[in-house]
Amino acid sequence: MTAKLQVTDRVLLDFANEVGDSGPVAIQGNRTRWELGGPASAGTRLVSAPTGIVDYVPDEMTVTVRCGTTVAELHHALAEKGQRTGLPERDGTVGGALAAGENSLHMLGRGRVREAALQLRYVSDDGKVVTGGGPTVKNVTGFDLPRLMVGSLGTLGLLCEAILRTNPIPACTRWLRSETIDPFAVHGTVLRPSALLWDGSSTWIELEDHPAAVDAEQARLAAIADVEQVDGPPVFPEHRWSVPPATLRSTEQFGDGPWIASIGVGTAWASNAQPVTPVDRGVAALAARVKEQFDHRGRLNPGRTPGVR
């Protein structure tokens, strides 16, 4: 373990030296959510996070991974031990998933991205490697830096390494579809669906567990509505939306054209782009104060504004 940590520290130090302590700089992954938060400022120097899995302890259900590693590569390695993380797979990197903070389609069963990060290491505005959090679930005393960094779009620090919580891959995954069930009543019928989607007429439900438990959940649903087994989720429209979960019944907000909402999550996909709304003044003031503390010169990912789509 000591040797691994020494190697990791040397790699991260080299990355910190590349970032440096002056001039606008931004980190890039696979650019799958590159326009989130607005375009990067012109003239910003781009760097890429180091890659590789540093340490994996299946019995502790934790993995240490460098943030330039793709989520697909990480999950392929974890699958050998029957595990995965709550990070979404969309051809992006671990650091990109954490920086964007967007939850997986399967969030109801796998947890939020923010809950997956136990420890994060990042390069600060002055080119130093900073560590926040720890390798165990109950590790935080004081300020929880990982929860702040997730979703910050690299504007507070450039993510380079993470310790993530893993969870078991269920023995059975099954998608069901119904045209008669109330999607908002599903949570009162099944214990915990991994995904719950609705397009205004059809509802898709993902169940994950041991086969007998999935069979029992499906039977409970079949007792209140007509359900059929399908191969997977529907095809999603182009534009991803983020809205308060309580507003998902107001389907007129998505405008004309097809849409799909993730019930209980607050994520939706629509054929129309989500209108840009100004950030609440109080939230903006607080964000400005946090930015001042972490990056008073404004050199980290300039042009990005977390919370603006």
DSSP 246-275: GGTT-GGGG-SS-EEEETTTTEEEESSPPP
DSSP annotation of 298: -
pLDDT of residue 140: 53
pLDDT of residue 134: 83
- Total Cβ atoms within 10 A of residue 58: 14
Q: pLDDT tens digits for 260-275?
A: 999 988 899 999 998 8
Overall residue count recorded for the chain in this entry: 309
Q: Does the pTM of the predicted model rise above 0.95?
A: no
pLDDT of residue 280: 82
| Domains of the chain with bracketed CATH | 2-168+281-294 (3.30.465.10), 172-270 (3.30.70)
Residue 109, phi then psi, degrees to nearest 5 = -100, -25
pLDDT of residue 278: 77
Q: pLDDT tens digits for 171-222?
A: 999 999 999 999 998 988 988 899 999 999 999 999 999 999 999 999 999 9
Contact 203, 124 (CB under 8 A): no
The C-alpha atoms of residue 67 and residue 122 are separated, in whole angstroms, by: 10
Residue 170 confidence class, pLDDT cut points 50, 70, 90 = very high
Residue 82 confidence class, pLDDT cut points 50, 70, 90 = very high
101: left (phi over 0), alpha (psi -120 to 50) or beta: left
Residue 276 confidence class, pLDDT cut points 50, 70, 90 = confident
pLDDT of residue 6: 47
Q: pLDDT tens digits for 108-165?
A: 999 999 999 999 999 999 999 999 988 775 555 556 889 999 999 999 999 999 999 9
Distances (CA, A) of 129 to 9, 26, 28, 110, 168: 9, 15, 18, 30, 31
What token pair was written down for 19?
A: 């970032």
Q: pLDDT tens digits for 11-42?
A: 999 999 999 999 999 999 999 888 888 888 99
Q: pLDDT tens digits for 177-188?
A: 999 999 998 988
Taking alpha carbons only, the member of 40, 14, 38, 36 closest to residue 27 is 40
Question: Is the model's pLDDT at 2 over the cut of 70?
Answer: no
